[in-house]
Structure 1
Amino acid sequence: MTSKVKVGGHLSIRGGYAGAAKTASLMGAGAFQYFPKNPRSLGVKAFDPRDAEKCRVWCKENDILSVAHTPYPSNLAVDSQKDPEDYRRIVESLRNDLNIAEACGSIGIVVHFGTSKAGNPLQGYKNVIQCINEVLRDWSGAAKLLIENQAGDHGDMGMTMEEMTQIRKLCESPEHIGFCLDTCHAFAAGVWQGAEDNSFVEKGHKLGFWEEVRVIHLNDSKYPLGSRKDRHARVGHGYIGEAGFRKLLTALDTRDKAFILESETGEDGTYKRDMEQVSLWAEA
């Protein structure tokens, strides 16, 4: 356990990747998340490598962790046989995201586990593995593909640590795969019970889950435990509450992990207040 947790929020790249990094510094953040391109569409962005390099250098010099979040339409569980065009676009988009993250010196790209239309659950998992293998084929960069757990609002897939660790094991390049834990999703899915949970962290260690977690989305939940609703609240302002976050943060080794706030900002339009709270809870 370190005395300082690297926490920050999701920031706009309206001023470029370097601009987002500098905004993080102004807030006193130790980490930040950004969309590498338009979050609503799949496409290949011709990004400015000079801007990305400035972001990388700034983050290195100021000891800031950055992470990219892939566009919302990215779906690892797409069926390459039934939806070949969507599959191609998703693979090309994710590879583009990896290249941007690598250029920016980011930890990697966060992508949701995926939603399958296949009637057979096993086929859905096969689709996820196939897509990840295609995206990572011949990839030699330091940026990782970071699988994020899901709340269960779009189906049963991707809610558990067992699924995430097993998918990683079955992929061709597990060394390029890590995890992103979303606390709201875990709570909504019923796999983490917040302050009342005495087994979640230990179970994660037994599965080898925490060792591969690079990013934690610190989101409270606007709905009760097991609701399967992906609705974020500010940390300490929802059903997880301060006690739940305190218990999780003090139980984890926070070193080299980026803690990202994805809820609304405070009254001043920044994440400063929530960042201060998280730092205090982690040091308790």
Structure 2
Amino acid sequence: MIKIGCHLSSSKGFLHMGQEAVSIGANTFQFFTRNPRGSKAKPLDMEDIHAFRQFAEEHGIPVILAHAPYTLNPCSGTERTREFAFETMEDDLRRMEYLPGNYYNFHPGSHVGQGSEEGVRQIAEVLNHILRPEQTTTVLLETMAGKGTEVGRCFEELHEIIERVELSSHVGVCLDTCHVYDAGYDIVQNLDGVIAEFDRIIGLDRLKAIHINDSKNPFESHKDRHERIGEGALGLEAFVRIINHPKLRELPFYLETPNELAGYAREIELLKENYI
């Protein structure tokens, strides 16, 4: 069975997100840990967490994906911005342990003129400060489209970050289909080749989740604008190959397409119909 979900609002709690996911045919979901463009997180509701854990077990929700806010930049040229990223991620990981065994995804950040090597060093430094041997949450570096001074525009940069992390067993990768296509990895015409390159540079054992999004822009555009499945530059046939690829099909897939709940339900059904 395909593990498929979408991005849901966390404003009403985990149980509500689980119920929403099931109502649209999903068996996993992604959520922001706090306001995606802010800093404050809601207090933990232990009754809600307990109710969700029971609901997830009853309804076959094996794993969920937390997403750090977009405002984080652990490789900023400004010390206070780096401190904000450190404090937020450390707090998020502490909170995630109340839902053990899940994933926490973040955008590696932008080096803002310092150079990618310095960006890589600073990102790894933050991870070395916040990761704990006893944690059950796996932190995922997201593949990026390469706009501006983004770090993570190529597999080599992600590999360099992971290589510098002392507790690298707690680190994986979330591959975004829109981002990698915009970055210049041709998953439409050469999916096998891209997967082989990922395996050679990073290792497929590090690939834990996939953001499944079409792109509004053409190949190697470095733009990062998501489109609905089958309505963008990648096209439906590419996604059928992605979700059925023997090295990807068991991973959880998360939609981040421009949709409301009903639109996500249609996309989930579409992907299920094409999952062999």
Q: With the length of structure 1 as denominator, give the TM-score of the two structures.
A: 0.89
Q: What amino acid is the match of 1:171?
A: V
Unaligned regions of 5+ residues in structure 2, if any? none
| Offset, 1:208 | 4.3
For 1:3-38, what per-residue CA distance to the aligned partner results, in whole angstroms no more than 9, with x for missing partners? x21001101122211110111111221110011211
RMSD (Å) for aligned C-alpha atoms: 2.0
| Offset, 1:256 | 5.2
| Offset, 1:125 | 1.2
- Runs of 4+ in structure 1 displaced over 6 angstroms? none
Is contact 1:195-1:247 (8 Å) kept?
A: no
Is contact 1:7-1:32 (8 Å) kept?
A: yes
Which of 174, 178, 188 is the aligned partner of 2:168?
Answer: 174
Match of 1:115 in 2: 110
Match of 1:126 in 2: 121
The separation in 1 between residues aligned to 2:181 and 2:214, in whole angstroms, is 9
Q: Does 1:27 align with 2:20?
A: no
Is contact 2:35-2:41 (8 Å) kept?
A: no
Q: Does 1:90 align with 2:88?
A: no
Query: 5 Å matches for 1:1-284?
Result: 4-43=1-40, 45-64=42-61, 65-79=63-77, 83-105=78-100, 107-136=102-131, 138-155=132-149, 157-254=151-248, 257-265=251-259, 269-283=262-276
| Offset, 1:223 | 0.6
For 1:70-109, what per-residue CA distance to the aligned partner results, in whole angstroms no more than 9, with x for missing partners? 1111113135xxx332222211111222233332346221
The separation in 2 between residues aligned to 1:54 and 1:270, in whole angstroms, is 27
| Offset, 1:225 | 0.3
Seen in structure 2, the aligned counterparts of structure 1 residues 14 and 43 have a Cα distance that, compared at 3 Å, is closer
- Of 237-246 and 95-104, the range deviating more from structure 2: 95-104
Seen in structure 2, the aligned counterparts of structure 1 residues 203 and 94 have a Cα distance that, compared at 3 Å, is same
Unaligned regions of 5+ residues in structure 1, if any? none
Seen in structure 2, the aligned counterparts of structure 1 residues 105 and 156 have a Cα distance that, compared at 3 Å, is closer
| Offset, 1:40 | 1.1
Is contact 1:11-1:34 (8 Å) kept?
A: yes
The separation in 2 between residues aligned to 1:199 and 1:159, in whole angstroms, is 17
| Offset, 1:112 | 0.6
The separation in 2 between residues aligned to 1:152 and 1:106, in whole angstroms, is 30
For 1:100-122, what per-residue CA distance to the aligned partner results, in whole angstroms no more than 9, with x for missing partners? 33323462211012101243332
The separation in 2 between residues aligned to 1:255 and 1:99, in whole angstroms, is 30
Higher relative contact order (CA 8 A, sep 6+): 1
Q: What amino acid is the match of 1:63?
A: G
| Offset, 1:244 | 1.4
Is contact 1:55-1:104 (8 Å) kept?
A: no
Aligned residue pair count? 275
Is contact 2:74-2:81 (8 Å) kept?
A: no
Q: With the length of structure 2 as denominator, give the TM-score of the two structures.
A: 0.91
